[in-house]
Amino acid sequence: METGKRHTNLIANFVDGYAAGWFMAVKECYRNELDIKYTGRKKHKQSFFEWTQGPYFSFAEGHMFYDTTKAYKKWGKAIKAIKIACKIVSATPTMLDKNKKLVEGIVVFTIYKPDAKLTSLKAVKDYKLSQTEFVNFLKTGLLNEKTHR
């Protein structure tokens, strides 16, 4: 992937505050972590702003995601709608090294599922992925069994 090059083909299209079509309910407030920025551009001597995509994913410790937007309702209702959730335990961002090469960040997270009584979430398994693989998980819900810790 080219360093520093931003393009207009965005990884996420946000509709009603969430990434449309993604497996996990990723809120629009995560644009920065997805490296989606409103960037100043110039074309034919005209200045304008547009949304651009970069490679610097930066999800961090404490970020929590659910597989449904209903998770953000009152907990009694939310827990009945949640099938899977994940919480980041630790993470490093993707960035450039001193030679301007892209160094992929790492995300360690725990998968949670509702308990039998549907009153709370219980930890199921820990995973360690690159930032890019984590974004792919948020999009698809697919986890490679080799990636669990």
* Domain annotation covers residue 73: yes
* Domain annotation covers residue 6: no
Read off the pLDDT of residues 91-139 as tens digits, 9 standing for 90 and up: 999 999 999 999 999 999 999 999 999 999 999 999 999 999 999 999 9
The pLDDT, as a whole number, for residue 148 is: 53
* Domain annotation covers residue 27: yes
d(CA 87, CA 93): 16
Beta strand pairing status for 18-19 and 14-15? antiparallel
Helix (H) or strand (E) holding 99: none
Domain extent for 104: 14-140
* Distant-in-sequence, close-in-space partners of 103: CB < 8 Å, separation ≥ 6: 94, 95, 96, 97
* Domain annotation covers residue 146: no
* Domain annotation covers residue 125: yes
* Domain annotation covers residue 145: no
The pLDDT, as a whole number, for residue 43 is: 86
Read off the pLDDT of residues 6-22 as tens digits, 9 standing for 90 and up: 999 999 999 999 999 99
In this structure, the number of other CB atoms found within 10 A of the CB of residue 37 comes to 16
Number of domains in the chain: 1
